[in-house]
Amino acid sequence: MTIYLDHAASTPIHPVVADRMHQLLADEFANPSSLHAPARSARKIIEEARETLADALGGRPDEIIFTSGGTEADNLAVLGVARRRRRDGRSNIVISAGEHHAVLDAAQALRTEGTEVRIAPLDAHGRTDLDALATLVDARTALIAVMAANNETGVIQPVEAVAEVARAHGAALHSDAVQALPWIDCSMLSASTIAVSAHKLGGPKGVGALLVRRKTALEPIVHGGGQERALRPGTMNTVGIGGFAAAVAIAVERRAQSIPHPIELRRDRLQRRLVSELDGVHVSGGEVPRLPGHLHVTIDGVDSESLLLSLDARGIAASGGSACSSGAAEPSHVLLAMGIPKQRALGALRLSLGPTTTDDEIEASADAIVEIVTRLRDRR
Ligand code: PLP
């Protein structure tokens, strides 16, 4: 039996979502843009899903644009807003150093088009440094991007304070809430655009959404048939969108029942065991508010890859949280931005819990990590 501690990477499909998708796959095959009754039925599924997403994100249904996932939603926001506003003389964007690659690499693409990209640093806890960010924003800033919570550390970002800075300069604010939505109420996020993804909360992969508030000017990054207010043309994914809405409804209900709390207690138990039973375990963002399911540590004297392979051999699925390129382990940009030295950053371990994680799994994982780290250190 696998102990699955990689919910921040993707989650198992919730059985209710799977049933819903099976039903939609069989029954709702019509093109939702056609005019006949089967099309109207498919369209109704999508419009109901739009309402569910709008409620969860504190917007209106006509502000929800369905996409192929979080990556596309981030790209649409960053590229779409920056390109549209460049025409009005807004020639720079400001992004937090801890952003996901979906935002960072979209910004990099803008750089090649002549947009100036300014990077706001993180503090040692992994929060965006507000004072530093404020000095980077000016009257030519098209967009600020600060995620709701970080995918590696789970650290919750000061989006409300950034929104004030954005408002003062007439800049749009994009917030990537892909990791936050499963855990925290995102209906109060005062961002101009908010990106979310279905597969992080028990829904299918390949479906996401971007909330685009009414006054936010942006241009599409894909061109075609005019669907989704022409901001995301293409025949809509009825099955995926219906599954996404079912998953969001379940996540909202779980929050209402305070289900994140016992998960947080399990996370804290795992953290306590690792810190007390091993030397040289550093919790990333442990002193600031974090998502309840995230535990990110750097461990002295081990490298992520060996640790993850050993854990995998014991049936424990976890993640290092950093990208691997050309076979060589690269330290995470998030950890480097927090001022963590490169060597320590290479010993990163992200354990991300979900609603199905049990107490026994926590104990077994702690036992295995302690044993494996001790063995790996002895080998050095
Ligand atoms: N943004 C964040 C913070 C994420 O964690 C992820 C997924 O890892 C994405 C964006 C990309 O979402 P998707 O996998 O739906 O493209």
How many whole angstroms separate alpha carbon 138 and alpha carbon 2? 50
* Residue ID of nearest Cα to ligand 1 atom 10: 70
Whether pLDDT at 310 is above 50: yes
Strands 193-197 and 172-176: parallel
Distance from the first to the final alpha carbon of the chain:
30
Rounded distance from Cα 183 to ligand 1 centre (Å): 15
Q: What percent of the chain has pLDDT over 90?
A: 96
Kindly report the number of other CB atoms within 10 A of residue 129's CB atom.
17
Half-sphere exposure of 50 (CA within 13 A, CB side): 19
Rounded distance from Cα 377 to ligand 1 centre (Å): 33
Cβ neighbours for 161, distance < 8 A, ≥ 6 positions apart: 130
Does residue 143 sit in helix, strand or coil? strand
The pLDDT score that the predictor gives to residue 325 is 44
Cβ neighbours for 345, distance < 8 A, ≥ 6 positions apart: 298, 322, 331, 332, 335, 336
The pLDDT score that the predictor gives to residue 187 is 97
* Index of the ligand 1 atom closest to the CA of residue 74: 10
This prediction's pTM: 0.97
* Index of the ligand 1 atom closest to the CA of residue 149: 3
The pLDDT score that the predictor gives to residue 78 is 98
In DSSP notation, 282-340 reads EETTTTS-B-TTEEEEEETT--HHHHHHHHHHTTEE-B--S-EETTEE---HHHHHTT-
Does residue 290 sit in helix, strand or coil? strand
The total number of residues written for the chain in this structure: 380
How many whole angstroms separate alpha carbon 344 and alpha carbon 350? 14
Rounded distance from Cα 159 to ligand 1 centre (Å): 18
pLDDT tens column, 209-226? 999 999 999 999 999 999
Q: Pick from 7, 157, 179 the residue to mutate for probing ligand 1's pocket: most ligand atoms within 8 Å of its CB.
A: 179
Whether pLDDT at 358 is above 50: yes
Q: Pick from 10, 184, 200 the residue to mutate for probing ligand 1's pocket: most ligand atoms within 8 Å of its CB.
A: 200
How many whole angstroms separate alpha carbon 251 and alpha carbon 210? 18
* Index of the ligand 1 atom closest to the CA of residue 150: 3
* Index of the ligand 1 atom closest to the CA of residue 198: 15
Rounded distance from Cα 176 to ligand 1 centre (Å): 8
Helix (H) or strand (E) holding 144: strand 141-145
pLDDT tens column, 95-144? 999 999 999 999 999 999 999 999 999 999 999 999 999 999 999 999 99
* Residue ID of nearest Cα to ligand 1 atom 8: 9
Does residue 213 sit in helix, strand or coil? coil
Rounded distance from Cα 146 to ligand 1 centre (Å): 14
Residue 204 dihedral angles phi and psi, to the nearest 5°: -80, 160
The pLDDT score that the predictor gives to residue 326 is 47
Question: Residues lining ligand 1, judged by CB closer than 6 Å?
Answer: 69-71, 74, 100, 102, 147, 151, 176, 178-179, 197, 199, 208
How many whole angstroms separate alpha carbon 164 and alpha carbon 53? 24
Rounded distance from Cα 102 to ligand 1 centre (Å): 7
* Residue ID of nearest Cα to ligand 1 atom 12: 70
Any idea which residues carry the catalytic annotation?
Answer: 324
Sheet with 348-352, side-by-side order of all strands: 281-283, 294-299, 348-352
The pLDDT score that the predictor gives to residue 37 is 98
User: Helices (H) and strands (E) in the chain — how many of each?
Assistant: 12, 14
